[in-house]
Chain A
Amino acid sequence: MNESEKLLQEMLEKQKNGGLKPADRYAIPSQDMPAQDPGVRKGNISEVATGYSSLQARLEAMRCLQCKTAPCMEGCPVKIRIRDFVTAIAQGDDVKALAVIKENSLLPAVCGRVCPQEVQCQETCTVGKKFKDVEKSVSIGRLERYVADLDQESNSIPQVAAPTGKKVAVIGSGPGGIVVATDLRRMGHDVTVFEAFHKPGGVMVYGIPEFRLPKAIVQREIDVLTKMGVKIVCNFVVGRTRTVGELMNEDGFDAVYIGVGAGLPNFMNIAGESLIGVYSANEYLTRANLMNAYKFGKGSDTPIAQSKRVAVVGGGNVAMDAARTALRLGAEKVFIVYRRSEKEMPARVEELHHAKEEGVEFCLLQNPKRVIGDENSRVQAIEILKYELGEPDASGRRKPVVIPGSEFILPVDTVIIAIGNGANPLIGQTTPGLALNKWGNIVVDESCKTSLDGVYAGGDIVLGAATVILAMGQGRIAAAAINDYLKTKK
């Protein structure tokens, strides 16, 4: 028997004889996520974090104090009864734990992997507060993933109510669209999902890499949708193939949900940005993920730069994904160039940590001034300016200020711009009367209703750049509102 097994026996004994005291719970070490070795994993595309064993999951769950107030739940955008599912795991009832999660979240295997728990449920966790370290909080995300993965083979399909005779179009098959489609189908509506790409899944398929979210998990969720009777139509670009107006006035849809995501990459508007070897992160990741460019010449036809030295500009999760993808595609050196300090980086701590472990180098308080090309217009370097932190700006983060004369040259052959997305104009331009804000994002009320009757929207096209879980949260709200709307509609 190893130490963990001994510890679990001891805790189970105590649980039987009157229960665990807070001191007992604090004494259980926080369980590390098992992961592939950094040196090995950067040579493959398999998932980095391999998941808790049942022993680890149970010990981790026992660290939860089961607070009456459940502050973790307040931190969750979809209000999962976190305390109750963690308690169920501590009691060895994983089936019940999953049922509790599924009351509120439809994609636990996805959210357990990609949610930024450290600024949501785990930020408000009492255990983390006690240790004054959010990394010591109960690892709620890892526990969510653990129970969700146990469910992989079960293929449980949600019950579908009797047909209502109402038809709903869901535009976009990303996390928000999947949630809206599932909820509305459960209520008995006839749901069709329209996807512009040739494969459904949205950002979970084109953007988030395999090593962080295996495609098989997304495919399983899509399969559940189709088994429920949701129709999925790929290669269908709403705004071009058919407009929102045509869907409602000619094709008989009673309501529409727009969940098309963030679809227009920002560039920096610096010299040299159109040179060969400069990519938006969207393009780089889409080539690598959706188009399988890592298999170029071995079955896949989509090429990607065969880079040796790569600079990724930006400090978010997408920047980390691009940097780590570049390593896996064979780059020898990958730099993250970010104009603020590490503290201001929007990327998840875990992603930052994984990138560092894999050897990504961080050029902090630096920003490209221009991209330099050779005589064939191929990237050969970037010129970088150094910054220092000044006063806090509107976002509350300290504003980076240029250090004059600090320019230097970093030789690279590939530059990936990961500084966010603007709103895609396609639906706005082709839907008269749809109110947009000054950035082109769709304006909605608290029920996710747009300025048009029967048209709802959520996710990045409303929020700007957000997360999978926020898109899911809005999908939930919109589905309930659409259901109410359809009840009153004749």
Chain B
Amino acid sequence: MYFSPEPVRNLKLSHKIVSKQQLSENVFVADIEAPLIAKARKPGQFVIVCTRGNYSERIPLTIAGADASKGTIRLIWQRVGKSTAEMSDMKVGDEIDNIAGPLGKPTHIEKFGTVVCIGGGIGAAPLLPIAEGMKKAGNKLISILGARTKELLILQEEFAAISDEIIIVTDDGSVGKKALVTEPLKEICQRSPKPELAVAIGPAIMMKFCCQTTAPLNVPTVVSLNTIMIDGTGMCGGCRVEVDSKPMFVCVDGPEFDGHKVNFDLMMKRMTAYRDLEQESLKKYKDHACKIGL
């Protein structure tokens, strides 16, 4: 493939979008050609995407799945900034210029006993391969999926297929129970025997409250962080968070950490570092897209 004996110049790794669907108003899923990443990736790892050569941002996206035989990886993203908006406007057959990975340490998967997996909104996407891995390793799997409303709930069927027990909650009660994920989580952690491990992935605020729920009940809790990054290989330190009061790099020390030791408040503030500029960038993109009739 890339290592052909023919004299090839300036090898281009192609990243064609082979299928794409819209899951909800702002959430998209696509299978994208990236054969080496598809082969190497393990649950918990992410890629850095840079949509257009010279002038795009580099953004981290967790890998939601892969098919090594087809050479594709599955990405699920929410349209929030310019780069994800661009990806959302791409069509099957279009190419993403740069995808690097798989990055970060894979999830530590073994037979713990009972594992409760909590996915909030788009967080269900990176959680799925971890839940699959936990199930395959012989764990009893309890899944809690939460979203603001029915429309934003994703991967319900996929989780139902692998879970021993699944609980759905929404903020408005449009599907499942009207509650936050912390409510069933607390109930599960109070059972006897209690789960050996919790894995929570979702908005930072959700992960923070999941950790506040599990900490007094002594259920170890893994969280997966998605901070602002550039290189994704440890070189810039922009992704750093405080864990146990020490600076850690999400890209090489993580993305998963002991949630009970993460300083979520500081992390949430750091995530807002460029909010105004990001909005400006997105607005320009939207205005432009309107003008050219996208």
Contacts and interface: CB of A to CB of B under 8 A. Distances in A.
Contacts of B103: 237, 240
Contact of B270 (A263, A282, A377): A377
A287 B230 contact: yes
A193 to B, nearest CB: 10
Interface in A144-169: 167
Given A237-B101, A292-B55, A426 B237 contact: no
A264 interface: yes
Nearest to B97: A198
A225 to B, nearest CB: 9
A242 B270 contact: no
A11 interface: no
Contacts of A283: 230, 236-238
A274 B233 contact: no
7 contacts: A198-B50, A198-B53, A198-B98, A235-B99, A274-B263, A300-B55, A303-B277
Interface string B240-277: 11100001010010000000000100100110111001
A157 to B, nearest CB: 12
A234 interface: yes
B92 interface: no
Contacts of A295: 55
B47 to A, nearest CB: 9
Interface string A264-285: 1101010001101101101100
A254 interface: no
Contact of B237 (A236, A251, A265): A265
B24 interface: no
Interface string A298-318: 011111001000000000000
B67 interface: no
A291 B235 contact: no
Contacts of B230: 283, 286-287, 291, 302
Interface of B: 2-3, 5, 7-11, 13, 36-37, 40, 50, 53-58, 82-83, 97-103, 230-238, 240-242, 247, 249, 252, 263, 266, 269-270, 272-274, 277-278, 280-281, 284
Interface residues of A, number: 53
Contact of B55 (A196, A263, A301, A376): A301
A197 B53 CA distance: 11
A145 to B, nearest CB: 26
B281 A303 contact: yes
Contacts of A297: 277, 280-281, 284
A226 B9 contact: yes
Contacts of A303: 274, 277-278, 281
B5 A274 contact: no
A-side interface mostly: loop
A240 B269 CA distance: 30
A237 B233 contact: yes
Contacts of A235: 13, 98-100
B235 A264 contact: yes
Given A232-B11, A267-B247, A301-B55, A198 B100 contact: yes
Contact of A240 (B56, B102, B238): B102
A190 B9 contact: no
Nearest to B98: A198
B248 to A, nearest CB: 10
A241 B100 contact: yes
Interface in A169-192: 190, 192
Contact of B241 (A231, A241, A274, A424): A274
A236 B102 CA distance: 9
A252 interface: yes
A424 B252 CA distance: 9
B238 A241 contact: no
A419 B290 CA distance: 46
Contacts of A234: 13, 98
Nearest to B50: A198
A296 B277 contact: yes
B63 to A, nearest CB: 12
B25 to A, nearest CB: 23
Nearest to B269: A377
A425 interface: yes
B270 A424 contact: no
B57 A302 contact: yes
A454 interface: no
B58 A291 contact: yes
A424 B284 contact: no
A242 B237 contact: no
B238 A276 contact: no
A269 B100 contact: no
A263 B280 CA distance: 32
A229 interface: yes
